[in-house]
Amino acid sequence: MEVFLGIDIGSLSCDGVLIDSHGKILAATVVPTGARNLEAIERVRREILQTAGLSEAAVQATVSTGYGRDRVENRLAAVTEITCHARGIQALYPDTDILVDIGGQDSKAIRLDRQGGVQDFAMNDKCAAGTGRFLEAMARALQVDITELGGLDRGARDNLTLSSMCTVFAESEVVSLIASGTETREIVAGLNRAIASRTASLVKRVGGDVNALNVAMSGGVARNGGVVRAITAVLGRPLAVPDNPDTVGAFGAALIARQRFKGTAGHQT
């Protein structure tokens, strides 16, 4: 059996997806990147193959993506995460016009064609505002686990607005709001609205009027229901979110590995 591996190594997690020759997902895993990304890469390989019950010799080709993509050994190619996320989401939701991808350290809006090619993109990589790192800092300030943030905005009423999205200043503002007795749900709702507002500006840069466009979301932050609800409200459009949004890039990388191994032209940026 021919199988193909995609590895997406980001700042917070290293994700892997293994597919067969038909593009069916055989195994997927997400592990923390930590301080030693080579160890995370090898752990992903090991877990993926163990889950699939295969040896490394069965892997016909590997494509890597993410900020650490050049660290993956024995790869067929290293491809940008913009290309891989676009390809992955198109396979899951073929009608996607715009993909919102919020990861550990940056956020992107990507305009797609119907083949999963990238027509345009806008990216916020100058600061961690609204990313996974930002939400980790806010969770620490609120003294909650980051996995709890997605539901803590429910019931908020006050339309609280944060004065800054800089991680350092926002964390200080959250601490001050807590000290003043502001309810946690109001603070979290304010954080979500701020993230949604920044995200919407990226979307409009590549999509213009989004009223008739299909929007999807990938990246680990897509697991945060509160952020998804806030972006949906700001855009006025529903978001298509896959069951495993953090492995979309690795899935796209695996699809590109299959395509290139079979000798067909791949999509690149």
The per-residue pLDDT for range 166-200, each reduced to its tens digit, is 888 888 999 999 999 999 999 999 999 999 998 99
| Integer Cα distance of 104 and 108 in angstroms | 11
pLDDT at 267: 45
Q: Which residues lie closer than 8 Å to 149 by C-beta, 6 or more apart? A: 135, 138, 139, 142, 188, 224, 226
The per-residue pLDDT for range 10-65, each reduced to its tens digit, is 888 999 999 999 999 999 999 998 888 899 999 999 999 999 999 999 999 999 99
- In the chain the domains, ranked by start, together with CATH numbers, are 1-93+244-269 (3.30.420.40), 95-241 (3.30.420.40)
Average pLDDT of the chain is 91
pLDDT at 264: 54
- pLDDT band for 130, please (50, 70, 90 cuts): confident
Handedness of CA 100, 242, 12, 81 (dihedral sign): negative
In the structure encoding, which two tokens stand for residue 129, read together?
Answer: 């505002």
The per-residue pLDDT for range 203-255, each reduced to its tens digit, is 999 987 788 899 999 999 999 999 999 999 999 989 999 999 999 999 999 99
pLDDT at 89: 97
Handedness of CA 105, 253, 224, 35 (dihedral sign): negative
* 109 vs 164, higher pLDDT: 109
